[in-house]
Structure 1
Amino acid sequence: MTVAQPDVSVIIGAYEAMPYLIECLASVEAQTIDQTRIEVIAVDDGSTDGTGEYLEEFAARAAMPVTVIRQENSGGPSGPRNVGLGKATGRYVFFLDADDRLGPEALRRMVAIADENGTDVVLGKVEGVNRSAPKSMWGSTVGRTDVYSSNIKFTLSAQKLFRRALLERHGMRFDESLFTGEDALFTMEAYLRADGVSIVADHTCYYLVGREDGKHVTKSGGYTLRFDSARALMTLIADMIPPGPKRDVLMVRPFVVTLLPQFGPRYLKDSDEVRRHKLELAKPLMEAYWNEDVARRLRVHERLRLHLVADQRPDLLKDVVAFVRAKKQAPAILEKKGRRLYLVYPYFRDREAGIPDCVYLADAREARAFPGYRESTVDTFMQRAARKVRRALPAREMRAAA
């Protein structure tokens, strides 16, 4: 008898996952999708806490087919995910971390929206449990979008539904040389290669669980790994997207999410040697990918810090970071009849520092919060131009024009 192809292969990489694994697997069993339409492939990555044994117990009693693979520790999440992906047979794959859990309708809703819209990647709404979770992309459920016209670039974790044919067609696997940010690289490539992306925002599909023992993978690793991650993601974007607005939109993500935190509050606690090293690591990335079009898409305090990183100005950077850490509201200066607003962070119009005014120029999103700001529009500009023309016309020509 021919066995029907499952809709979803749920791939679970597990290392020292007890007791979180219990709720994780229970959330798979609780899925409202027909359990004959899913398979589970669980890879125990050399655990010593009973994780492997519990996976085998689960496989023996579960209603859906479960494959358990036990291997020596690989040192990171990429290896187990790749092993699981190599065994998957479903039309779609979903990567579930062993310390997280699914919402009950997650797989049914994600498969349905992908099938309805013919999309290759589906994002299900994520909710944090004892930890933060991305928020900006869950405004509404969207049948079809892309990485340029949405905020999905700010959620590059692997916990998405991927059409397996897309991954196989492009030979996509997780980079096992990276020990942080490997999922960002994989997911960004999938976004860029996908024939459309869907968003399920009206149902919590994924619970991102903060472990009490602090062993969650995103908390591990030194600062040099973060620069490795930023470099890999920037290189991927540059290799796949030619210079221009589309590339600049995507570059915002590694600059703000991966690189900038290295020049946040922790920078003040770094030794002089570490500060110098961070600037050295950042220098080639700034030279290759930092430009005015990327800069203008950032908030002032983000833009200012990265400007100083690009200029290799540790003396000024430390003062700016201290100002940002204090969470002070930078004073505002309105010019051009209220249509231009500068935020007065340290060294604004300091002749010796020599930082251009444009670095401190707030965009409309930031400026709207300040009384007196008047947002310029194309219409008001055109209206002002038309008024100037009318004033310049002789009375007879103006009547004729009317």
Structure 2
Amino acid sequence: MTVVTQPDVSVIIGAYEAMPYLVECLASVAAQTIDPARVEVIAVDDGSTDGTGEYLEDFAAGAPMPVSVIRQENSGGPSGPRNVGLGKAAGRYVFFLDADDRLGPEALERMVAMADRNGTDVVLGRVEGINRTPPKSMWGQTLDRTDVYSSNIKFTLSAQKLFRRELLERHGMRFDESLWTGEDALFTMEAYLRADGVSVLADYTCYYLVGRDDGKHVTKSGSYTLRFDSARALMNLIAEMVPAGPKRDTLMVRPFLVTLLPQFGPKFLKDSEDVRRNKFELAKPLMEAYWTSEVARRLRVHERLRLHLVAVGRPDLLVDVVEFVRAKRQAAAVIEKHGTRVYLVYPHFRSRTAGIPDSLYLAEAREARAFEGYREAAAHSLLRRALRRMRRSLPTDGYGAVA
């Protein structure tokens, strides 16, 4: 039997009213291909009344690896149980597993090997959804070593990653228990920024994100004001850790696009006037502090247009744009400057009364390429210079005309 003085990985499970999903979750832990002696499980029952705590204790009695069960009064959110588990962890790495989700059989073995092989502090394992839609843009290829600026990992900030515990302890990192949603985004973004490298394991499904039939998943519940709290916390963290400039703007795209913008989407049309007014008031200091032309440039036209109208306090104009987007209509294109500029005709384009700058409607290359007649400015200018050079090299008749 293998003698291990320190486990390779501590699996931390915070559980609240997790039955019957917990059954398959724990079965996926027991089925891991990694040597059970290399794993410890720390499960924290956060005041459940549905048999979650009892099931955890039954599992601990027969599990192939050491399992510690901690039962406590309900803390009100996922941060408390995770922090308790993290405080008890002894592994070189920690992995946060939600009690209604499950692991792929080789997940821990592959992620630990990836971190050890590359010396990276965070490993992202491919995620698939069961009755839920997970983020997808970061799974294009396996990356032995990357960072938050040169990959799409900023669009997956859930806590279900492998973290080197020494990194977390060195910086005193814990989940913010004052946040009711988005606490994992704050924690994970800080880890990305502090990490000596991040690995992406894209060729094996490590994690199955399960949608609950009872609709009790935390990301689906809660007041809209909690989303503003989450956006504010993440923006402030980015600003504290990253100097103003292109790198900060790259990261700010995430809270603007994922957390803030949905508050000014189709649901805005159903909001009362009081809620609309309050949303604009909550957004105002965030727009003033962090909304820049470089952040705007990184968004699609309808995204930046909506956020611009929030920034300038025009809910009346915003409604027209949101209705257009909700209808899923394709905006017409106005192509100018020899095909090098594509303007998308969303509501109020070149309206004198609205006074919205043309630049808000100007499609960047990635969006403009969909329209026939578009020519990328750089390629177009290179062609024109080449033609000029060719003309200069041709013989002339003495009057400047080509002979």
Does the TM-score normalized on the shorter chain lie above 0.5?
Answer: yes
- C-alpha distance in structure 2 between counterparts of 1:224 and 1:281, whole Å: 8
- 8 A contact 2:124–2:162 mirrored in 1: yes
- C-alpha distance in structure 2 between counterparts of 1:36 and 1:194, whole Å: 27
Q: What are the within-5 Å matches in structure 2 for residues 219-298 of structure 1?
A: 219-298=220-299
In the alignment, does 2:210 pair up with 1:200?
Answer: no
Query: Residue in 1 aligned with 2:307?
Result: 306
- C-alpha distance in structure 1 between counterparts of 2:364 and 2:80, whole Å: 43
- Per the TM alignment, residue 388 of structure 1 is displaced from its structure 2 partner at its CA by 3.7
The superposition leaves residues 82-107 of structure 1 with CA deviations (integer Å, 9 ceiling, x where unpaired) of: 00000000000000000000011111
In the alignment, does 2:142 pair up with 1:138?
Answer: no
Equivalent AA in structure 2 for residue 280 of structure 1: E
- C-alpha distance in structure 1 between counterparts of 2:3 and 2:269, whole Å: 63
- C-alpha distance in structure 2 between counterparts of 1:4 and 1:316, whole Å: 64
Equivalent AA in structure 1 for residue 110 of structure 2: R
Structure 2: state its 5+ residue gaps. 397-403
Equivalent AA in structure 2 for residue 189 of structure 1: E
- Per the TM alignment, residue 367 of structure 1 is displaced from its structure 2 partner at its CA by 1.1
Question: Percent identity, aligned pairs only?
Answer: 80
In the alignment, does 2:384 pair up with 1:384?
Answer: yes
- C-alpha distance in structure 1 between counterparts of 2:168 and 2:178, whole Å: 19
Query: Residue in 2 aligned with 1:185?
Result: 186
Give secondary structure in 2 for the equivalent of 1:73. coil
- C-alpha distance in structure 1 between counterparts of 2:323 and 2:8, whole Å: 51
Give secondary structure in 1 for the equivalent of 2:377. coil
Give secondary structure in 2 for the equivalent of 1:277. helix
Equivalent AA in structure 1 for residue 271 of structure 2: D
Give secondary structure in 2 for the equivalent of 1:204. strand
TM-score normalised by structure 1 residue count: 0.96
- C-alpha distance in structure 2 between counterparts of 1:331 and 1:383, whole Å: 27
Equivalent AA in structure 1 for residue 229 of structure 2: D
The superposition leaves residues 139-185 of structure 1 with CA deviations (integer Å, 9 ceiling, x where unpaired) of: 01110000000000000000000000000000000000000000000
Query: Residue in 2 aligned with 1:18?
Result: 19
- C-alpha distance in structure 2 between counterparts of 1:110 and 1:338, whole Å: 48
- C-alpha distance in structure 2 between counterparts of 1:91 and 1:3, whole Å: 12
- C-alpha distance in structure 1 between counterparts of 2:225 and 2:291, whole Å: 20
- Per the TM alignment, residue 369 of structure 1 is displaced from its structure 2 partner at its CA by 1.2
- Per the TM alignment, residue 393 of structure 1 is displaced from its structure 2 partner at its CA by 8.4
- C-alpha distance in structure 2 between counterparts of 1:32 and 1:371, whole Å: 52
Give secondary structure in 2 for the equivalent of 1:362. coil
Query: Residue in 2 aligned with 1:399?
Result: none
Q: What are the within-5 Å matches in structure 2 for residues 37-48 of structure 1?
A: 37-48=38-49
- 8 A contact 2:143–2:200 mirrored in 1: yes
- 8 A contact 2:46–2:72 mirrored in 1: yes
- 8 A contact 2:4–2:38 mirrored in 1: no
- 8 A contact 2:122–2:164 mirrored in 1: yes
Query: Residue in 2 aligned with 1:371?
Result: 372
- Per the TM alignment, residue 50 of structure 1 is displaced from its structure 2 partner at its CA by 0.1
- C-alpha distance in structure 1 between counterparts of 2:175 and 2:27, whole Å: 26
- Per the TM alignment, residue 19 of structure 1 is displaced from its structure 2 partner at its CA by 0.2
Distance 1:3-1:138 versus aligned 2 partners, 3 A rule: closer
Equivalent AA in structure 2 for residue 324 of structure 1: V
Equivalent AA in structure 1 for residue 384 of structure 2: R
- Per the TM alignment, residue 339 of structure 1 is displaced from its structure 2 partner at its CA by 1.3
- C-alpha distance in structure 1 between counterparts of 2:108 and 2:3, whole Å: 24
Distance 1:383-1:327 versus aligned 2 partners, 3 A rule: closer
- Per the TM alignment, residue 233 of structure 1 is displaced from its structure 2 partner at its CA by 0.2
Query: Residue in 1 aligned with 2:34?
Result: 33
Structure 1: state its 5+ residue gaps. 397-402
Query: Residue in 2 aligned with 1:213?
Result: 214
Query: Residue in 2 aligned with 1:400?
Result: none
Query: Residue in 1 aligned with 2:124?
Result: 123
RMSD: 1.6
Query: Residue in 2 aligned with 1:175?
Result: 176
- C-alpha distance in structure 2 between counterparts of 1:177 and 1:221, whole Å: 14
- 8 A contact 2:340–2:380 mirrored in 1: no
Query: Residue in 1 aligned with 2:357?
Result: 356
- Per the TM alignment, residue 337 of structure 1 is displaced from its structure 2 partner at its CA by 1.4
Query: Residue in 2 aligned with 1:165?
Result: 166
- Per the TM alignment, residue 381 of structure 1 is displaced from its structure 2 partner at its CA by 2.4
Aligned residues: 396
- Per the TM alignment, residue 368 of structure 1 is displaced from its structure 2 partner at its CA by 1.2
Equivalent AA in structure 2 for residue 74 of structure 1: S
The superposition leaves residues 119-143 of structure 1 with CA deviations (integer Å, 9 ceiling, x where unpaired) of: 0000000001001100000001110
- C-alpha distance in structure 2 between counterparts of 1:393 and 1:33, whole Å: 69
Equivalent AA in structure 2 for residue 99 of structure 1: D
Equivalent AA in structure 2 for residue 35 of structure 1: P
- C-alpha distance in structure 1 between counterparts of 2:353 and 2:95, whole Å: 54
